[in-house]
Amino acid sequence: MSRQRLTILMTVDAVGGVWRYAMDLASGLRGQVDVVFAGFGPAPSDAQRREAEALGPLEWCEAPLDWLVSGESELAVVPKMIAGVARRHRVDLIHLNLPSQAAGLSVPVPVLAVSHSCVVTWFAAVRQGVLPAGWLWQRRLNRQGLAAADAVVTPTQAQADLMASAYGPLPEVRVVPNTSRFAPPARRIARAMVLSAGRWWDEGKNAAVLDAAAPLIDWPVVMAGAAASPNGQAVEIRYAEARGELSHADLLDLMCEASIFVSPSRYEPFGLAVLEAARGGLPLVLSDIPTFRELWEGAADFFTPDDPMALAEAVNRLVRDPARRRTLGQAAQRRAADYTPERQARSMAAIYAELCPIPETLRAAR
């Protein structure tokens, strides 16, 4: 019996890093796995829609993301919508980029849940684990989804450890690092500028500490990224230069101009912008959190994440030491070479094949 390619359904959203993850992974899987996208949350831009449709069919579902609602009743339609897309496209496997989407999902195919981040582990890292009563349903729903999945994947062991602490014993969690398709230019035109990027309205991105450090840093500090969320959260950036939300291409162009990249995050399950900066050879100054130690130990300088003075001192040491900047940038670039799209695609394809080894058999059974 000849084997045919797997067809998977992959859930996406258009407001966070999951979009970039999904597009890059689908591109890496091209020729091995056919991907159907099911989108949730705020609608994608026209450019995003074109990007997805170049890789596979896209169905946008009129249902929210778990982190943009106040109660689980608003998510009741999600399992039925996912099952409907899966049925229409006769998929062999479902890859969920929110574990809560597996809760209550009844389908005749394997389900893989990837935990990129979640409200519960966010509170564990940012608010010392104190989950407000109004969010307790998130823990319950995520735990149900994780228990229902046939496999669970996270981008770092640090995130897997946070999940185990937050949710208790889990099925085996596989660690598959994220990646970036950003290819650094042949020649960078660097200027005296410190860059950081993130969804700054998210308290876990720690905008306040970087903004407070900005006037203490010898070079201008540029903060790229949205300062207001889709549901109205906002942060004021007073001292750094706020560039607002940029397209992915514009952010990469800005990275080519910068001389130092900073991430002050208190919660970061992976940190894609850090990887992209490293691939471009930028020296990294990172908050001292488990994720960044796991990924960048020996290839970055670190600072205590709640201390603006420590951040400013770490950056200024690099500003005043061009040789150290060059050495650290080269170390970051070498480390970034470990996190390739090809490696990620191979790892995920192997998990898909393990869960769903013979597509024809599964198709015939439906």
pLDDT tens-digit map of 307-353: 999 999 999 999 999 999 999 999 999 999 999 999 999 999 999 99
Architecture of the domain delimited by 6-178+340-365: 3-Layer(aba) Sandwich (3.40)
pLDDT at 365 over 50: no
pLDDT at 21 over 60: yes
191: helix, coil or strand? coil
Pick the CATH number of 194-336 from 3.40.50.2000, 3.50.50.60, 3.30.470.30, 3.90.110.10: 3.40.50.2000
What's the mean pLDDT in 281-295?
A: 98
> How much is the pLDDT for 353?
94
> How much is the pLDDT for 128?
83
313: helix, coil or strand? helix
> How much is the pLDDT for 182?
75
Using pLDDT thresholds of 50, 70 and 90, give the confidence band for residue 171.
Answer: confident
CATH 3.40.50.2000, the chain: domain bounds: 6-178+340-365, 194-336
Dig out the tokens for 49 from the structure: 């829609």
Please report, rounded to a whole number, the percentage of residues in the chain having pLDDT higher than 90: 83
Using pLDDT thresholds of 50, 70 and 90, give the confidence band for residue 13.
Answer: very high
Identify the top-confidence range among 18-22, 127-131, 312-316, 338-342.
Answer: 312-316
User: Helix H segments across the chain?
Assistant: 17-29, 46-53, 78-89, 119-126, 136-148, 157-167, 207-213, 248-257, 272-279, 290-296, 308-319, 322-336, 341-355, 359-365
> How much is the pLDDT for 231?
74
What's the mean pLDDT in 56-77?
A: 94
Please report, rounded to a whole number, the percentage of residues in the chain having pLDDT higher than 70: 95
pLDDT at 2 over 60: no
SS (H, E, C) 336-364: HCCCCHHHHHHHHHHHHHHHCCCHHHHHH
Tokens 């960078």 appear where? 188
Give the span between the Cα atoms of 135 and 161, in whole angstroms: 21
What's the mean pLDDT in 10-29?
A: 92
Using pLDDT thresholds of 50, 70 and 90, give the confidence band for residue 229.
Answer: confident
